[in-house]
């Protein structure tokens, strides 16, 4: 495994829980609704994480547990049925309803899969009810998406035909772009999961080869495999190199002629390198510290080191899936310090001791670090921005160059002295 130094840390964490995935999932599938069964804290979390920019008509809500529910004065299942009924009356356009488990609902053991079954029977034809957990005692940030997708897998229609399935939420334009490239390689049958409409599910079966577009889909990948699909091994499509290897993994699996692959990708790569160059100049030699949050940390570190010349001080990740990360770890430089888990105080001590030029972190930590004179980049931006693929490599680099550039503007230094 490359030769990275893998360390484990436990202690107080500063990571969102899996509920946060709702913030992008509800935009991906506008005909779905995410109903958290939880507490006022859970409601407040998604509200705060979502910010208010997407206030218009949120496709998520919370069924807040109250004292009555806990004291057994009300039957939680009856209450949930009532809430769901009201919701569906008000929002008849909902086609898929996700019941999302939270810490409180898990601790008091509300069986949401039973609830989903019951509600499914009740609303047959109108809406499909599924459930998964986004609780903070079980999941972090992006794992919520894994849960939601895993819940959808049993609904995928079976098919034996040869096809490529891209798995993981991508920005729509990026997804279109990637599909175009596969089409150029002669792969016409390319589907994506999650789909843009929750009811337009792709099919799955022994002919399906899966490319994971996001690194946090462990459970979903396992379920897809159980349905007969083959999970292709590749690094993730971040940066030129990662994207190239990712596309080639599919090309190899479908026995596509190497010359065609090269002829298709080479011009893109040349153009991408050119676009990347000015950012490489800014980022090269800069020290980078990644705090754990989105699971994208390892692929990002790989790109920022290998292609942008940044020096990796530490790569923090919420958890390490060795099998899935193997192709990424192999591309990392020797002795990269990878820390799984977190003790946020000790980790911040290390940040201060190492004087990084840039820290990738969660929203709660960014301003305090800026106030200490350390430039930051929000992890959450990576799950919202179109950063995947060869064409996006320079945009991805720009996200990291911008805080440094800004710091320079404000301190009146010229760019050359960065």
Partner 1 sequence: MELTLWTYEGPPHIGAMRIASSMKGLHYVLHAPQGDTYADLLFTMIERRGTRPPVTYTTFQARDLGGDTAELVKGHITEAVERFRPEALLVGESCTAELIQDQPGSLAKGMGLKIPIISLELPAYSKKENWGAAETFYQLIRGLLKEKAEDSSENTKLSWQEEGRRPRVNLLGPSLLGFRCRDDVLEIQKILGELGIDINVIAPLGASPNDLMRLPKADANVCLYPEIAESTCLWLERSFKTPFTKIVPIGVKATQDFLEELHRILGMEISSSIKKGDQSKLPWYSKSVDSNYLTGKRVFIFGDGTHVIAAARIAKEELGFEVVGMGTYSREMARKVRAEAKDLGLEALITNDYLEVEESIKECAPELVLGTQMERHSAKRLGIPCAVISTPMHVQDVPARYSPQMGWEGANVIFDDWVHPLMMGLEEHLIGMFRHDFEFTDGHQSHLGHLGGHKSTPEESFKETTQISNNQSPSENSINWTTEGESELAKIPFFVRGKVRRNTEKYARQSGCREINGETLLDAKAHFGA
Interface contacts to ligand SF4, rule CB under 6 A:
17, 19, 38-39, 41-42, 45, 52-53, 102-104, 135-136
Q: Is 276 in the site for partner 1 (CB under 8 A)?
A: no
- Closest approach of Cβ 101 to ligand SF4, in Å? 8
- Comparing CB distances to ligand SF4, the nearer of 47 and 264 is 47
Q: Is 370 in the site for partner 1 (CB under 8 A)?
A: yes
Q: Residue 399, class by beta-carbon neighbours within 10 Å (0-12 exposed, 13-18 middle, 19+ buried)?
A: middle
Identify residues 15-34 at the interface with partner 1 (CB under 8 A). 15-20
> Is the separation of the CB atoms in 141 and 23 below 8 Å?
no
Q: Is 4 in the site for partner 1 (CB under 8 A)?
A: no
- Closest approach of Cβ 69 to ligand SF4, in Å? 15
**Side-chain half-sphere CA neighbours of 3 within 13 A:** 3
- Comparing CB distances to ligand SF4, the nearer of 52 and 410 is 52
Q: Is 352 in the site for partner 1 (CB under 8 A)?
A: no
Helix (H, G, I), strand (E, B) or coil at 163: strand
Rounded CA gap, 106 and 110, in Å? 6
**Closest Cα to residue 360, out of 417, 327, 312, 408?**
312
**Which of 70, 263, 409, 415 touches partner 1 by CB under 8 A?**
70
Q: Is 69 in the site for partner 1 (CB under 8 A)?
A: yes
Residue 350, sorted as left (phi over 0), alpha (psi -120 to 50) or beta, turns out to be alpha
Rounded CA gap, 262 and 249, in Å? 13
Identify residues 41-60 at the interface with partner 1 (CB under 8 A). 41-45, 47-49, 52, 55-56, 58, 60
Rounded CA gap, 376 and 394, in Å? 19
Could you tell me the end-to-end alpha-carbon distance of the chain, in angstroms, rounded to an integer? Answer: 34
Which of partner 1, ligand SF4, none lies near 364, with the C-beta cut-off 5 to 8 A by kind? partner 1
Phi, psi torsion values for 76, nearest 5 degrees: -55, -35
- Which residues contact partner 1 (rule: CB under 8 A)? 11-20, 37, 39-45, 47-49, 52, 55-56, 58, 60-67, 69-70, 74, 76, 79-80, 82-83, 86-87, 103-104, 106-108, 135-138, 140, 345, 362-368, 370-371
């Amino acid at each position: 495994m490359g030769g990275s130094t893998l360390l484990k840390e436990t202690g107080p964490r500063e990571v969102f829980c899996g509920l946060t995935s709702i913030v992008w999932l509800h935009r991906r599938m506008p005909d779905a609704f995410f109903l958290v069964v939880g507490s006022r804290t859970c409601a407040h979390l998604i509200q705060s994480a979502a910010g208010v920019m997407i206030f218009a008509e949120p496709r998520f809500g919370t069924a807040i547990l109250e004292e009555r529910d806990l004291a057994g004065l009300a039957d939680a299942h009856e209450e949930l049925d009532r809430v769901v009924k009201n919701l569906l009356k008000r929002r008849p356009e909902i086609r898929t309803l996700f019941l999302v488990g939270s810490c409180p609902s898990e601790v008091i053991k509300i069986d949401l899969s039973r609830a989903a079954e019951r509600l499914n029977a009740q609303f047959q034809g109108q809406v499909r009810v599924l459930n998964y957990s986004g609780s903070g005692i079980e999941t972090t940030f992006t794992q919520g998406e894994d849960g939601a997708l895993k819940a959808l897998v049993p609904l995928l229609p079976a098919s034996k035909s040869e096809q490529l399935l891209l798995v993981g939420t991508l920005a729509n334009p990026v997804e279109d772009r990637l599909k175009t490239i596969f089409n150029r390689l002669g792969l016409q049958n390319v589907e994506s999961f999650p789909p843009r409409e929750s009811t337009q599910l792709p099919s799955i079966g022994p002919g399906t080869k899966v490319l994971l577009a996001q690194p946090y889909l462990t459970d979903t990948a396992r379920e897809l495999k159980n349905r007969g699909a083959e999970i292709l091994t590749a690094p993730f499509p971040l940066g030129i190199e990662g994207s190239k290897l990712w596309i080639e993994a599919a090309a190899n699996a479908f026995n596509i002629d190497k010359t065609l692959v090269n002829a298709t990708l080479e011009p893109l790569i040349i153009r991408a390198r050119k676009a990347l160059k000015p950012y490489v100049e800014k980022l090269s030699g800069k020290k980078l510290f990644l705090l754990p949050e989105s699971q994208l940390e390892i692929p990002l570190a790989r790109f920022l080191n290998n292609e942008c010349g940044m020096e990796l001080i530490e790569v923090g990740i919420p958890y390490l899936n060795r099998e899935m990360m193997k192709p990424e770890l192999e591309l990392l430089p020797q002795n990269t310090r990878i820390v799984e888990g977190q003790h946020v105080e000790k980790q911040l001590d290390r940040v201060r001791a190492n004087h990084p030029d840039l820290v990738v972190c969660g929203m709660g930590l960014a301003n305090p670090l800026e106030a200490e004179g350390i430039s930051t980049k929000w992890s959450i931006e990576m799950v919202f921005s179109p950063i995947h693929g060869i064409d996006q490599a320079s945009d991805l680099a720009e996200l990291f160059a911008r805080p440094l550039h800004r710091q320079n503007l404000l301190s009146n230094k010229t760019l050359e002295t960065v």
